[in-house]
Amino acid sequence: MREFKRLTPYKEALEMVLEDVSELEDVEEVPVSEALGRVLAEDVVSPIDSPPFDRSAVDGYALRAEDTFPAREYSPVELRVVDEIVAGEESGARVEPGTAVKLMTGSKMPEGANAVIMQEMVEREGEVIRVLRPVAPGQNVAFAGEDVKKGQAVLQKGQVLRPQDLALLKSIGFRSVKVKRKPRVGIIITGDELIEEFDEGALKAGKIMESNSIMLMGLVRQYFGEPVFYGVVPDDEGAIRSAIERARGECDLVLVTGGSAFGDKDFAHRFVKLLFHGTTIKPGRPVGYGERVFIMSGYPVAVFAQFHLYVKHALAKLVGARDYEVQVRARLTERVSSQLGRHEFVKVWYENGEARPIKKKGSGIISSLVESNGYIEIPEDSEGYLEGETVEVVLY
Amino acid sequence: MREFKRLTPYKEALEMVLEDVSELEDVEEVPVSEALGRVLAEDVVSPIDSPPFDRSAVDGYALRAEDTFPAREYSPVELRVVDEIVAGEESGARVEPGTAVKLMTGSKMPEGANAVIMQEMVEREGEVIRVLRPVAPGQNVAFAGEDVKKGQAVLQKGQVLRPQDLALLKSIGFRSVKVKRKPRVGIIITGDELIEEFDEGALKAGKIMESNSIMLMGLVRQYFGEPVFYGVVPDDEGAIRSAIERARGECDLVLVTGGSAFGDKDFAHRFVKLLFHGTTIKPGRPVGYGERVFIMSGYPVAVFAQFHLYVKHALAKLVGARDYEVQVRARLTERVSSQLGRHEFVKVWYENGEARPIKKKGSGIISSLVESNGYIEIPEDSEGYLEGETVEVVLY
C-alpha cells in the first residue's frame, strides 16, 4: 500500500509554511489614488496636526461664549459683526467682547473667539446678530489636532488600505505611500484529463473541464497577489519539472494542482523537497509544501480548502498583512460531525447570525462552493458541533 | 432662520432614491477570466450535466461492489484486472463478475462497475488485486449531474462573481458571461477652502486638504461603479452649474460634495430638482437627491455616512446586485445613545463577536473612520442600545 506514512497535523504544517515563507522586503511607492486594497509597508506617522488650527465646524458666527451666557429668548444678546470671511480665508479681526465674526464651515477661528453659533440659530439685522440662547465654550469648534496629532502613528504597517485610509493619508499631506510589492504567484495545472476549451464530446469520453486555474487566479488576486498562469501541463515528468523550475525562478510562490496524491502519474512532488506531504485537513489531505511550492489537489473543492487553510496565510505573511480575514460568530443551524484526527473545512452559508452547513459532499462539487459564503474549521480533537452551538465563520 | 423645513425620515428618503434610480439595461459580455467582482446580468442555466458521466473520485480500481461483500482481512476477495486506463481515457472493457479496471481520479466509470476502491486499499500481485474489506455500492463514484444538472439555474442574476463562481462557469462550458455595465459615477467637489496639493502654509492660513474625492472614488469602486472625477470646483454658481450639467450628461449618477447646507455659497442644490433635501440621518443630515444627483456634505465623516446609507444602495440598484453587504450580529461592548428623531450612523470596531462603538465625534474626524470597520444604525424611534445588546453590524 502506498499511502502517506504520516499525516502532519494541520497547525503543525501551517507553522512550517509560515516559518519557511519570509515577508517580502520589496516596497513600492504608489500614488495614494492607486493604493486601494494594497498593503501598507510601514507605519504612517502624521507630519502635521490635523486640523492644523482651531476651525469652525459650521457656517455661523464666531463669538466669545461668555458674552452669550445671559441670552434668553425673551432677552436676546446682541453682538456686532466686525468681519465676514469666506471659506479658506482668514479673518484679521479679533473678537472683542460684544462682537462676532461671520465665518464658514472649516474657517480658521479668529483670535478671541472660543465658540461658534450656527447661522440658522441667530436673527440678523444689519451689522447686528441677536443670540437667543447661551452658547457653550468650544461649541461647533473643531480643535487643532483633534483628528490627528503631529507625530501620531495613524496607520499601521500591514493595514490593507480602504477608501477612508486613503482620505486620511491625503488629508495629512501624503501624495504617495509605501506598499508591499504584490507577490507573484505561479499557477501550474497538471493532468492529461483536462481540457481548456469546452467540447461536449471530449467530456463525454472522459475529459474534464479545467477550472482550477481561474479559481486560483481569483483567489490570489483577493489575497494581495498577482497570479502568473503557466498553463495546463501534461502528465509528463520533464514537462512538469521544467514548468516548476521556471515558475520558481520567476515567482514568489508556486501552486501546482493535480500532482498531490500518489497516482502513477503524479510527478510534481518528486521535484520539490517537501517539508510535509499529506496533512490532517479534509478535504485536501494530500497537500504538500516545500521550497516555496505548494503541491495541491486536482479537485476544485480540495484546492479551495487548501488555498484557504494554507496558501492564503502564506500570502498574508509574504506581504505582512493584518486583519485579512473576516471572522464572524454564528449559531449553527444543524449538527456537523467530523472524523477525529481530521481538521475539517466545512462550507457554510452565513446569514442573519446563523451558519447553515452545506451538505453536498465530494471534492469535485464546485456548486457546493458556489452555495456557500464562508467556512468553519473543526480541529482534529473534535467530533464536530451540535445544532445551536456558536461557531466562528470565516467569510469569503 | 434658514433651516430645513422638514427632515425626511431616513427610510422614506431611501425609498425615493430607489424608486427614482432604474436598473441599468446595459450588459457587457466579458471573458470569464475577467469577470471577478462583476455583477451577473442574467441567471446562468447549465447547458450540461456536470460531471457529464459517472466518474471515479479516486485513483483505484472500478469493480462490482457485490463481488467484495464476502471480503475479510483473513479471507480477501481476488479480482482480475482486465484493463488499465490513464486520466482522460475511457476503458472499452466491461467489468464482469470477478474483474476490475484500474483507473484514475476523474476517469469515466467503465460499464458494469458500480464502485471504486482506492489503490492504497488493495494488494496487487501481477494481474490480480486482493480486496480486504467490502466496498459499498457507489463508493468513490462521482455520479453524472451530481455537481450540476443540465437545465439547472446555477447562478442568479445579481450575484457578485467570486473565484468559485468563475470556476463553476468555466466547468460548464462558459467562456464569457453577461455582466452589468459598471455605472459611471461623476464626482464633483466644491469649496473655495479646499486645496489639492499639500501646502502647510496655506493650511495654517485656513485652507483644507481635499480628501473626499479619493474616498468617494474608492467607495464607488468597492460598490460596482466606475468613478469619474470632475475636479474641485470653486464656489461659483456658473462653474458648479456647468460641472453638474456635464457630469449628468456623461454619468449614471453624480455625487456633489460641499454644497449641501444652506450657506451663502452653497449653490449646488439650486440646479437640481431635489426629491428631498435634509433627512433624519446623523451625521449627514443635509443630504439631498434628485435627477440622479446626490448633494452631499463637505465633511468626510458625513460624506462616508451618506454614501453608506444612500449612495451604496443606489449603486446596488443600478446594477441589480444582491448580497452586497456583509452583515454580522455582535454584542455591543458599551452603551450608545441616540437622539430621538435621528437615524444615527454609529461607527464601530467589530472583532470576536463584539462591536465597540468609536467614541470620537465630529464629522471632520477622518481618523474615526480609519479606526472603525463597520457601522450600526439606530433608527429614529430608538434612544440607542444598552451595553451587551445584540446589534447588526454592517462591515466595511
So what's the pLDDT on residue A125? 94
| Domain at A27-50+162-180, CATH class | alpha beta
A331, A282 Cβ separation under 8 angstroms: no
Residue whose cell numbers read 453624480? B254
CA distance B170 to B33: 9
Interface membership of A93 toward B (CB under 8 Å): no
Strand partners of residue A297 = none
So what's the pLDDT on residue B235? 84
Give this complex's ipTM.
0.90
On the question of pLDDT at A264 being above 60, the answer is no
So what's the pLDDT on residue A284? 93
Interface membership of B282 toward A (CB under 8 Å): no
The pLDDT-based confidence of A263 (bands split at 50, 70, 90) is: low
The verdict on a CB contact (< 8 Å) between A164 and B300 is yes
On the question of pLDDT at B1 being above 50, the answer is no
- Other residues' Cβ atoms within 10 Å of the Cβ of residue B181: 18
**Which cell goes with A83?**
468681519
Does A10-25+182-319 carry CATH code 3.60.15.10? no
So what's the pLDDT on residue B265? 57
Tens of pLDDT, residue by residue over A276-322, are: 999 999 999 999 999 999 999 988 999 999 999 999 999 999 999 99
Pairing of strands A128-131, A77-84: antiparallel
To the nearest whole percent, how much of chain A has pLDDT over 70?
Answer: 95
- Per residue, what are the HEC states of chain A? CCCCCCCECHHHHHHHHHHHCCCCCCEEEEEHHHCCCCEECCCEECCCCECCCCEECCCEEEECHHHHCCCECCECEEEEEEEECCCCCCCCCCCCCCEEEEECCCCECCCCCCEEEEHHHEEEECCEEEECCCCCCCCCEECCCCCECCCCEEECCCCECCHHHHHHHHHCCCCEEEEECCCEEEEEEECCCEECCCCHHHHHCCCEECCHHHHHHHHHHHCCCEEEEEEEECCCHHHHHHHHHHHHHHCCEEEEECCCCCCCCCCHHHCCCCCEECECEECCCCCEEECCEEEECCCHHHHHHHHHHHHHHHHHHHHCCCCCCEEEEEEECCCEECCCCCEEEEEEEEECCEEEECCCCCCCCHHHHHCCCEEEEECCCCCEECCCCEEEEEEC
CA distance A291 to A254: 9
So what's the pLDDT on residue A360? 76
* Mean pLDDT value of segment A132-142: 93
Q: Which residue of A has its CA nearest to B369?
A: A164
Nearest to A342 by CA among A389, A278, A395: A278
Tens of pLDDT, residue by residue over B335-385, are: 999 999 999 999 999 999 999 999 877 667 899 999 999 999 999 999 999
Q: Which residue of B has its CA nearest to A325?
A: B351
The verdict on a CB contact (< 8 Å) between A163 and B366 is no
**Least confident residue range of A210-214, A286-290, B233-237, B392-396:** B233-237
**Which cell goes with A232?**
495546463
Interface membership of B262 toward A (CB under 8 Å): yes
The verdict on a CB contact (< 8 Å) between B87 and A369 is no
Nearest to A243 by CA among A298, A300, A186, A315: A186
B377, A70 Cβ separation under 8 angstroms: no
Q: Amino acid identity, residue A325?
A: E
So what's the pLDDT on residue A208? 85
User: Length of chain B in residues, anyone?
Assistant: 396
A177, A75 Cβ separation under 8 angstroms: no
The pLDDT-based confidence of B268 (bands split at 50, 70, 90) is: low
A 316-345 residues inside an 8 A Cβ radius of B: 323, 326-330
Q: Rounded to 5 degrees, what are φ and ψ at B170?
A: -65, -40
So what's the pLDDT on residue B5? 74
Third-level CATH fold of A55-142: Molybdopterin biosynthesis moeA protein; domain 3 (2.170.190)
So what's the pLDDT on residue B142? 86
Of B51, B214, B300, the CB nearest to A364: B51
Interface membership of B142 toward A (CB under 8 Å): yes
| Domain residue ranges in chain B | 10-25+182-319, 27-50+146-180, 55-142, 326-395
* B237: three-class secondary structure by DSSP: helix
CA angle A84, A88, A92 (to 5 degrees): 45
Nearest to A304 by CA among A359, A375, A198: A375
* Mean pLDDT value of segment A329-350: 96
* Mean pLDDT value of segment A231-254: 94
Does B27-50+146-180 carry CATH code 3.90.105.10? yes
Task: Establish whether domains B10-25+182-319 and B326-395 are of one fold.
Answer: no
Tens of pLDDT, residue by residue over A272-289, are: 999 999 999 999 999 999
The verdict on a CB contact (< 8 Å) between B167 and A366 is yes
So what's the pLDDT on residue A261? 54
Interface membership of A123 toward B (CB under 8 Å): yes
On the question of pLDDT at B260 being above 60, the answer is no
**Which cell goes with A33?**
489614488
Nearest to B103 by CA among B124, B88, B125, B114: B88
On the question of pLDDT at B387 being above 80, the answer is yes
Tens of pLDDT, residue by residue over B106-135, are: 788 999 999 999 988 999 999 999 999 999
Query: What distance, in Å, lies between the first and last C-alpha atoms of chain B?
Result: 38
To the nearest whole percent, how much of chain A has pLDDT over 90?
Answer: 79
Q: Which residue of B has its CA nearest to A259?
A: B105
Interface membership of B228 toward A (CB under 8 Å): no
CA distance B206 to B193: 7
| Chosen from B166, B367, B376, B395 to mutate, greatest number of chain A CBs within 10 A | B367
So what's the pLDDT on residue A146? 86
CA angle A352, A353, A359 (to 5 degrees): 90
* Mean pLDDT value of segment A100-111: 90
* Mean pLDDT value of segment B239-266: 84
Measured between beta carbons, the chain B residues lying within 8 angstroms of A55 are 206
The verdict on a CB contact (< 8 Å) between B210 and A170 is yes
CA distance A334 to A339: 17
Cβ-based burial of B125 (10 A; exposed 0-12, middle 13-18, buried ≥19): exposed
The pLDDT-based confidence of A1 (bands split at 50, 70, 90) is: very low
Interface membership of B125 toward A (CB under 8 Å): no
CA of B209 vs chain A CAs: smallest distance (Å) = 5
Bigger pLDDT: A221 vs A106: A221
Mean pLDDT of the residues in chain A: 92
Measured between beta carbons, the chain A residues lying within 8 angstroms of B315 are none
For B8, B99, B207, B269, the CA distances from B261, given in Å and listed in that order, are 15, 84, 19, 9
The verdict on a CB contact (< 8 Å) between B88 and A208 is yes
Measured between beta carbons, the chain B residues lying within 8 angstroms of A206 are 53, 55, 88-90, 106-108
Tens of pLDDT, residue by residue over B203-212, are: 888 788 999 9
CA quadruple A359, A364, A365, A366: dihedral sign: positive
Of B168, B264, B362, the CB nearest to A370: B168
Measured between beta carbons, the chain A residues lying within 8 angstroms of B352 are 327, 329
- Where does residue B341 fall: left (phi above 0), alpha (psi -120 to 50 degrees), or beta otherwise? left
Interface membership of B298 toward A (CB under 8 Å): yes
Bigger pLDDT: A146 vs A14: A14
The verdict on a CB contact (< 8 Å) between B106 and A353 is no
| Chosen from A5, A34, A55, A105 to mutate, greatest number of chain B CBs within 10 A | A105
Of A167, A173, A329, the CB nearest to B212: A167
A 29-88 residues inside an 8 A Cβ radius of B: 32-33, 36, 48, 50-53, 55, 57, 59, 86-88
Third-level CATH fold of B326-395: Beta-clip (2.40.340)
